[in-house]
Amino acid sequence: MEGKVEKIITPKKFVLNGFVFGPKKAKNIFIYVHGLAGSLFSHLDLFEKIIDKNNAVLAFNNRGSGIITPIKRLCASRKKGYKTMSLGMVHEVFTDCVDDIEGAIMSAKSLGAKNIFLLGYSTGCQKSIYYLAKKQKTPVKGAILLAPMSDYAITAAWTDQKVLAKAVSCARKMVREGQGQEFMPKNIWPDLITAQRFLSLNTADSVEEIFTYASNQPAKILQRVKKPLLVILAGEDEYRDRPIKEIAAWFEKNIDNKKGQLKTIKNSLHGFRGHEAEVARVIKKFTESAVFQFR
């Protein structure tokens, strides 16, 4: 695949590593928003199927890339011109995704693409929707949600409720006491994660709980999005907490019927491995209809 390195600088001056896969002057560019602890290289096989003379992919590492990742922020007051911060999945603040995605969109615009789409995967779906809900005026034509599963649903289904309740209580106390960026005690929660990130991922009242099929909360953030959406579910998603048909029905109920589309890829796991060609065909067909709506 042809391509080039793209250094993304967000409005808040964070420097994020990116790469453009595909032709330099593509008509359509897909901004890939990776999943939890993922990276810009997480779906190369899919990118290869999407790319052609009209389509390119801008993939980048957002602030949630990796477990703990050093990321630079430009700072004129520093002698070297920047400061390095420890971020990554365990430290990131979910709402910072707006700044990250805005930076990627600025880069996409500078590349001259006529049409920009968000291509969110897994937790990147929540970020894509949150961005579009907060930024009603954006050059983005629409969004593709690949395997949009609720992280809260996964934790609630797979964790002993007493253990989860104790962990939530501990995390809330840490946040109240100004220790939100401190790690959860190992005897309370075995995974390395800060208190605020734990609550963001694993509680029903979190702003990150956007796909509320498990928490039964109103889908206010999702319903605020007015851009065309394509939801692609994996038929055998290993992170589902219920039959995929029930999750599909929830999305059909909560996305705009006139602008929303839903497709389930049969026999596919969460990462769509081995089904990239089918996924790419669905994406390209949606792209044509979404662009038509804005002519």
pLDDT score, position 37: 96
pTM of the model: 0.95
pLDDT score, position 196: 98
Cα(289)–Cα(84) distance, rounded to whole angstroms? 43
Mean pLDDT throughout 108-117? 94
**pLDDT-based confidence at 2, cuts 50/70/90?**
confident
pLDDT at 9 over 70: yes
CATH topology of domain 3-150+212-293: Rossmann fold (3.40.50)
pLDDT score, position 77: 83
pLDDT score, position 1: 65
Q: What are the structural domain ranges in the chain?
A: 3-150+212-293, 157-200
pLDDT score, position 290: 65
Q: What is the pLDDT of residues 170-198, one digit of tens each?
A: 999 999 999 999 999 999 999 999 999 99
Q: What is the pLDDT of residues 202-259, one digit of tens each?
A: 999 999 999 999 999 999 999 999 999 999 999 999 999 999 999 999 999 999 877 8
- Looking at every residue in the chain, the average pLDDT score rounds to 95
> Residue 151, SS3?
helix
Interhelix angle for 123-134 vs 97-110, to 10°?
Answer: 80
Q: State the residue for tokens 């005026």.
A: 137
**Amino acid at the residue 196:** Q
pLDDT score, position 218: 95
Furthest CA-CA distance within the chain: 57
Instruction: Decide the pairing of beta strands 55-60 and 14-21.
Output: antiparallel
Contact (CB, 8 A) for 37 and 64: yes
pLDDT at 294 over 50: no
Mean pLDDT throughout 95-111? 97
% of the chain with per-residue pLDDT over 90: 91
Tokens of 227: 């851009």
Mean pLDDT throughout 12-26? 95
pLDDT score, position 258: 76
Q: What is the pLDDT of residues 80-94, one digit of tens each?
A: 899 999 999 999 999
Neighbours of 123 (CB within 10 A): 25
> Residue 254, SS3?
helix
**pLDDT-based confidence at 140, cuts 50/70/90?**
very high
